[in-house]
Amino acid sequence: MAQYNFSADWDQFFDKLDSYLNSRQNFEREYNSICRKAKSQEYDNPNSSACYYYMAAILCQFYYNEDSERPQTEMEWAVELGSNAIRSTRKIMPDDEEFKTLFLVFELHTLKHNTQDVQSLSRKLQSIKRECPHIETIEESLIKPEALQDWFGNAYYELLFGILLEGKVEDDLKLKAEISKELLSSPSEIDQEVAYANLADALFDMGNYKEAERYAIMGKDLRGNVTEYDNDEHFFWGMCWSIYARCQEKDGDMDYAMTLIEKGASLGIPWCEKELERLKQTTK
């Protein structure tokens, strides 16, 4: 990343950032102001023009991240504005790694709001991960490399999480397993828990009970000693527990399976309660 001669603009931008994010009107006004500066310098000073477009895209990224409760249409609107700005940046400076990283962040945001064809989406995600520069090697950057790393990682894993959480791959067990394995790399414990549960579930349904058991145990152990099941808080933990018990049953160890199922049922895990009822009926 080369150095650019408008550092004062960046200082002012960050000093007033909170005021740009507290309302849609303020955000849009500042976005348009920055883009006008970028447009005015496209021919005389293209490098500075690229950086102003980059500033506009960063504004959109902060606006997108600042409040997850914003209406869906407003989030999509911010992504569209940010995508337009970062594309303009890359038209001027296509080889800059910092600009490319933020461009890929907006690619991920765009995909999040267009996840109909999950097969194609999965291929696109793999491509984006391969394309992402080694962010830690970026020097003299306008935004700290750690921030770029976080933005990319959060957008990437958030998208994988959403695919699994919304059940978009329930009918494709192989793809479900692949996406779950990828989500395991997330530093977030809840991401890992969702990944373990879905991976164990996919492997179990594919008949790979040994591997299903291994991942179910890992997911179960993430939570430690839960004393009472809560559907909102412990859903995927309970899912791991029940798959673990089902694997023991498939392996022929009915005594241990029953121990696990009874314990799970006593905690209030619904799958274990149903399984316990079923086993009681079959042993009458």
Q: Tell me if residue 132 falls in helix, strand or coil.
A: coil
Does domain 7-165 bear CATH number 1.25.40? Answer: yes
Quote the mean pLDDT of the chain: 88
Q: Do 86 and 106 contact (CB within 8 A), yes or no? A: yes
pLDDT digits (tens, 9 = 90+) for 183-237: 999 999 999 999 999 999 999 999 999 999 999 999 999 887 788 888 888 899 8
More confidently predicted of 182 and 231: 182
pTM: 0.87
Which CATH number fits the domain 187-282, given the four candidates 1.25.40.10, 3.30.420.40, 3.30.70.120, 3.40.50.1100? 1.25.40.10
Q: Do 109 and 122 contact (CB within 8 A), yes or no? A: no
Residues 6 or more apart in contact with residue 55 via CB below 8 angstroms: 9, 10, 13, 34, 38
Average of per-residue pLDDT across 42-69:
91
Residues 6 or more apart in contact with residue 144 via CB below 8 angstroms: none
Tokens of 57: 């895209």
pLDDT digits (tens, 9 = 90+) for 139-179: 777 888 888 999 999 999 999 999 998 888 888 999 999 99
The lowest-confidence range among 73-82, 232-241, 251-260 is 251-260
Q: What is the location of CATH 1.25.40.10 in the chain?
A: 187-282
